[in-house]
Amino acid sequence: MRLNGGSSVLTGLGISVLLLTACGSASQTTTVVRDVDSIQVMTPEEVTAMRSTLVPINEDSSSNTSNGNSSAPADPSTDTGSAETIPLNKDNRPPELKLFDAFSQFSGCLKDSGESIRGDLQDPNNPAYKDPAYLEIIQKCAARSDIVNILNEVSTTRANLKPDEIKTRNEGFVLLSDCLKKKGWKIETAIDSSGLINPTTFQSADGDLNQRDLDQCLTETGINDAIENGA
């Protein structure tokens, strides 16, 4: 994925490496995002030390015994306890579709921070990275949008596609592209070594990613229905 200024063009899949190495030649190589608004760089030793201070929640039985406060084992038949797991809504969409949302959140976060995409974010020599404040915003917005993990998911999924899966994805992309082009989108493609169609230019008429157009075309082409039915 390439994030370029101005046109907000999506291509390739390289930003994940960039965001993890954009700090240059610093010796600390482990980045720990402890909060989306507070990004700290920690060495592996510091991470280990931090983890060693975490105490499991249910480690209080020995202290109760030492204080003379022993308790009988809980009756499993009456224990409705906190061990029950509440299932989370799982996003079963193809990773490429999740990437659209992530990019929208990422670029929206930049805009809310008073910034925009400067140059090629995939280029570690991008002059924009000489600005520590800008780099901090990039990292914050990457954390909020989870774009790095989704990019990794896209890359992993594409690397393991079978020929019939590649054919299905290509057919779906052609349908989506034809619909978007009717709405004024500029879409250019290239075919990679596996035979998968990849967009080299993918932008709406206003030079951005128009989520409304995407949603409409995903519905009109039946792609959304196919996803919901597990196709």
Q: Cα-flanking dihedrals φ and ψ of residue 197, to 5°?
A: -75, 130
> Which residues on neighbouring strands pair with residue 6, listed in sequence order?
none
Q: Which two tokens stand for residue 146?
A: 């989870």
Confidence label for 178 from pLDDT (cuts 50, 70 and 90): very high
Confidence label for 201 from pLDDT (cuts 50, 70 and 90): confident
In this structure, of 112-116, 167-171, 206-210, the range with the lowest mean pLDDT score is: 206-210
Entry pTM = 0.55
Calculate the average pLDDT of the chain. 71
| Four-residue CA torsion sign, 151, 146, 170, 200 | negative
Residues 210 and 202: beta-carbon distance below 8 Å: no
Residues 117 and 2: beta-carbon distance below 8 Å: no
pLDDT of residue 96: 80
pLDDT of residue 119: 86
- For 11-58, the pLDDT digits (tens) are 333 333 333 333 333 333 333 333 444 444 444 554 455 444 444 444
Stretch (H or E) spanning 218: helix 211-220
- For 116-145, the pLDDT digits (tens) are 988 887 788 999 999 999 999 999 999 999
Residues 120 and 2: beta-carbon distance below 8 Å: yes
- For 75-117, the pLDDT digits (tens) are 545 555 555 555 566 777 778 888 888 888 998 999 999 999 8
pLDDT of residue 145: 93
- For 179-190, the pLDDT digits (tens) are 999 999 999 999
Separation between Cα atoms, residue 109 and residue 103, nearest integer Å: 10
| Average pLDDT rounded to a whole number, residues 58-68 | 48
Stretch (H or E) spanning 99: helix 95-112
Q: Which two tokens stand for residue 45?
A: 């030793």
pLDDT of residue 27: 36
Separation between Cα atoms, residue 166 and residue 186, nearest integer Å: 23
Q: Which two tokens stand for residue 102?
A: 């992530």
Q: E strands along the chain, which residues?
A: 30-35, 38-42, 186-191, 197-203
pLDDT of residue 207: 77
Taking alpha carbons only, the member of 106, 166, 96, 175 closest to residue 142 is 106
Separation between Cα atoms, residue 48 and residue 34, nearest integer Å: 14
pLDDT at 222 over 70: yes
